[in-house]
C-alpha cells in the first residue's frame, strides 16, 4: 500500500485496520453474525413474571407438530441471568412446543443483555403476536415502562393520574404504535382483581358466553378499592350483567367520595343502561338435555333461534297449503 509520498508499506495482517481493508463485507458479516447453539431445555428458565400466556390450544398443538417434523426453524433468544443460568428472552411458545413434541434441546441465540434490556426485548418480541389480550398488554407495558425509567429516560416533566410521567408514557406509546393515553389505560388494568381482568380479556375472545367488560369502563373500575371490586364481582354474578361505562364512572366518583357501599353498587347495577334490550331468561335445566355438556351459551342461543325459524317456516308452509 502507498502513502501520500508514493512509498509503499505493509500493514500487519492482524490489525483492525487491515481487517477493514482486506476483509470483504461477507467476511465482516460472518464475523459479526450471532451463533446458534443447541441448549438443553432443562438449563433454561422462563423469564421472571413473563406477562404473556402460553396456552396449549389448537395453535400450540399445530406448532408442536411442526417442531416434531421440521425442528425449531427460528432459534429462541436467551441470556445468562444474574445467577448464571440461561433465561428465555424470546421463545416461550417454542419451548412449550418442544416439550409437547418430546424434544429435550432447543436452538438458541445467546445475547449479552442486562435485566432491563431483556425486559424491553422480551416485550417487543411478544407484541408481534396476532392476538394480544388486554391483561398481557397491561402487564407487559408496565414492565417495559419501568425498564425504560430505570435506563434513564427523562420522566420528570408532567405527571399522569397514576404517577406515570408524560414523556415516558408517550415515548412508550410511540414505540408501541399507541397513544400515551391508551398506554396509560392498559397499565391501569393492573389495579383490577383477577376476576374482573379476566372479563376484560373476554371482551376480545371469540367465545362471548362469559361476562365481558370493555376497556373504558374497566379503567374506571380500576380506581375502586379491592373490597369494592369484590362486591361488584358478586353483583355481576347475581345479576348476570356487567356495568356500562356510565355506571363505572359513577362508581368511581362515589368511591373517591367515600360513598360507594354494597347497597349503592347494587342500586347502580339495577339502573337501566342506555339502549338496553330487554333480556329473556329461561332456566338452563329446562333445555340442557338437548345440548352436549359445556355447550357455550351463545351456541345454545343460536341453535334455539334457528329451530324457531324452521318452525315458523314450516307453519307458514302449512298455512299456505290450507288455502
Q: Is residue 313 part of a domain?
A: no
Per-residue pLDDT at 165:
46
Tally of structural domains, the chain: 3
Residue 167 falls inside a structural domain = yes
Higher-confidence position of 176 and 56: 56
pTM: 0.64
- Alpha-carbon span 296 to 288, nearest angstrom: 11
Question: Which of the residue ranges 30-44, 210-224, 264-278, 291-305 would you say has the lowest mean pLDDT?
Answer: 264-278
Q: Do 229 and 247 belong together in one domain? A: yes
Find cell 353498587 and name the residue. Answer: 265
Among the listed residues 50, 48, 49, 100, the one whose alpha carbon sits nearest the alpha carbon of residue 72: 100
DSSP string, 90-116: E-HHHHHHHHHHT--EEEEEE----HH
Is the CA virtual torsion 59, 64, 67, 68 positive or negative? negative
Kindly state whether residues 146 and 174 are assigned to the same domain: yes
Separation between Cα atoms, residue 136 and residue 126, nearest integer Å:
10
Starting at the edge strand found earlier in the chain, the sheet holding 76-80 runs 36-40, 105-110, 76-80, 86-90, 44-45
**Alpha-carbon distance values, 9 to 5, 174, 240 (Å):** 11, 53, 87
Residue 163 Ramachandran class (φ > 0 left, ψ -120 to 50 alpha, else beta)? left
Asked if 206 and 131 count as a contact pair (C-beta separation under 8 A), the reply is no
Percent of the chain exceeding pLDDT 90 equals: 49
Q: Does one domain contain both 73 and 45?
A: yes
Where residue 23 falls among pLDDT bands split at 50, 70, 90?
very low
pLDDT on residue 227 = 96
N- to C-terminal Cα distance for the chain?
A: 108
Structural domain includes residue 280: no
End-of-domain residue from the set 189, 207, 235 = 189
pLDDT band at 131 (very low <50, low <70, confident <90, very high): confident
Calpha distance 265→197 (Å, rounded): 19
At 36, phi and psi to the nearest 5? -100, 125
Q: How far is CA 205 from the centre of its chain?
A: 12
Domain boundary among 165, 189, 213: 189
List CB contacts of 216: < 8 A, sequence separation 6 or more. Answer: 185, 245, 248
pLDDT exceeds cutoff 80 at 323: no
Residue 7 included in any domain: no
Query: From the DSSP assignment, how many helices (H) and strands (E) are in the chain?
Result: 14, 5
Residue 264: C-alpha distances to residues 193, 255, 271, 311 (Å): 20, 10, 11, 45
End position of a domain, from candidates 189, 205, 229: 189
Indicate the range of 109-113, 254-258, 298-302 predicted with least confidence.
298-302
Q: Report the pLDDT value the prediction gives residue 25, as an integer from 0 to 100.
A: 52
Q: Look at residue 306 in the predicted model and tell me its pLDDT.
A: 82
Compute CA distances 45 → 86, 114, 164, whole Å: 6, 16, 31
29 and 65 in a single domain? The answer is yes
pLDDT tens column, 273-295: 654 444 566 777 778 788 887 77
Residue 166 lies in a domain: yes
103 and 163 assigned to the same domain: no
Q: What is the pLDDT of residue 154?
A: 43
Instruction: Say whether both 31 and 105 belong to one domain.
Output: yes
Structural domain including 166 reads 132-189
Amino acid at each position: 500500500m502507498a502513502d501520500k509520498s508514493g512509498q509503499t508499506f505493509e500493514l500487519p495482517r492482524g490489525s483492525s485496520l487491515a481487517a477493514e481493508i482486506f476483509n470483504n463485507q461477507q467476511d465482516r458479516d460472518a464475523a459479526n453474525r450471532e451463533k446458534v447453539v443447541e441448549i438443553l431445555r432443562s438449563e433454561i428458565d422462563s423469564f421472571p413474571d413473563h406477562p404473556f400466556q402460553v396456552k396449549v390450544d389448537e395453535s400450540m398443538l399445530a406448532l408442536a407438530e411442526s417442531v416434531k417434523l421440521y425442528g425449531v426453524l427460528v432459534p429462541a433468544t436467551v441470556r445468562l441471568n444474574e445467577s448464571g443460568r440461561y433465561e428465555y428472552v424470546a421463545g416461550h411458545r417454542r419451548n412449550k412446543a418442544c416439550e409437547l413434541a418430546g424434544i429435550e434441546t432447543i436452538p438458541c441465540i445467546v445475547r449479552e443483555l442486562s435485566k432491563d434490556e431483556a425486559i424491553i426485548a422480551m416485550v417487543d418480541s411478544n407484541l408481534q403476536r396476532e392476538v394480544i389480550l388486554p391483561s398481557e398488554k397491561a402487564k407487559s407495558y408496565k414492565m417495559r415502562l419501568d425498564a425504560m425509567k430505570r435506563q434513564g429516560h427523562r420522566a420528570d416533566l408532567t405527571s399522569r393520574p397514576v404517577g406515570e410521567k408524560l414523556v415516558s408514557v408517550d415515548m412508550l406509546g410511540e414505540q408501541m404504535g399507541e397513544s400515551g393515553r391508551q398506554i396509560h389505560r392498559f397499565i391501569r388494568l393492573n389495579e383490577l382483581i383477577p376476576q374482573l381482568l379476566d372479563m376484560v380479556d373476554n371482551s376480545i375472545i371469540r367465545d362471548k358466553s362469559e361476562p365481558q367488560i370493555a376497556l373504558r369502563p374497566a379503567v374506571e373500575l380500576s380506581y375502586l378499592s379491592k373490597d369494592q371490586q369484590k362486591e361488584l364481582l358478586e353483583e355481576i354474578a347475581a345479576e348476570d350483567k356487567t356495568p356500562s361505562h356510565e355506571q363505572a364512572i359513577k362508581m368511581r366518583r362515589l368511591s373517591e367520595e367515600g360513598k360507594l357501599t354494597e347497597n349503592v353498587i347494587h342500586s347502580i347495577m339495577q339502573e337501566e343502561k342506555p339502549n338496553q334490550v330487554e333480556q329473556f331468561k329461561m332456566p338452563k335445566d329446562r333445555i340442557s338435555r338437548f345440548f352436549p355438556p359445556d355447550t357455550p351459551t351463545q351456541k345454545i342461543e343460536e341453535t334455539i333461534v334457528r329451530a324457531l325459524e324452521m318452525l315458523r317456516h314450516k307453519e307458514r308452509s302449512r298455512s299456505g297449503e290450507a288455502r
